[in-house]
Amino acid sequence: MSTEIEYKAKKFTNETILDQLTQTDLDNLDSLVTKYFTPEAAYTPTFTGFGTPTSVNFSWMRMGNKLKVIGKFTTGINTAVEARLSLPLSLASDSTFITSIQGCGNIVAGTASALVLYALIESGVSYTTFGIQSAALAGLTKINGNTIGNGITLSVQFEIPINGWNT
């Protein structure tokens, strides 16, 4: 019997709350959703250490306080400089949440390999770096572009808390 009364009370409360929502409330909700969750948009990152990449296809979206990036590219003639991939719109990682280097996503290589690649992020920077976990390399150690072979297709996915998006 009490279950039926509780159900009716919850139903009444939910219906009452919904009845009290005004068009302004709904417009405000739409505005908040639009502000904090954006549709996917294409962008072309700046690459460092990967020569001139080809078949570049990247997109990004905002999900609350985080930037989500998904993309794929084929490395060019890699160089002995730190491997980097820029974030869209010169966005920077939030130093409140990212206080030191850490993993922020995965990288899948289009070639057979025993190496496991990771996207890395540091505090207050506008790019990701790359790490490789293996018997000889620690995953949180940044690598140079020439550590990865030339002409290798890489699929990248990462999420990063962004400075200024926590409000």
Query: Could you read off the pLDDT of 73-115 as tens digits, one per residue?
Result: 999 999 999 999 999 999 999 999 999 999 999 999 998 877 7
Mean pLDDT for the stretch of residues 145-161: 95
pLDDT above 50 for 13: no
Q: Where are the beta strands (DSSP E) in 26-125?
A: 41-43, 47-48, 54-63, 66-74, 84-86, 102-109, 116-121
- Please tell me the predicted confidence (pLDDT) of residue 3: 60
Residue 18 pLDDT > 90, yes or no?
Answer: no
Domain parsing of the chain, residue ranges: 2-36, 41-161
Structural class in CATH, domain 41-161: mainly beta
Q: What is the mean pLDDT of the chain?
A: 87
- Residues forming beta bridges with residue 129, ordered by sequence position: 84, 120
d(CA 101, CA 143) in angstroms, rounded, equals 13
CB-CB neighbours of 162 under 10 Å: 21
For residue 12, pLDDT beyond 50? no
The per-residue pLDDT for range 38-59, each reduced to its tens digit, is: 999 999 999 999 999 999 999 9
Mean pLDDT of 130-147: 93
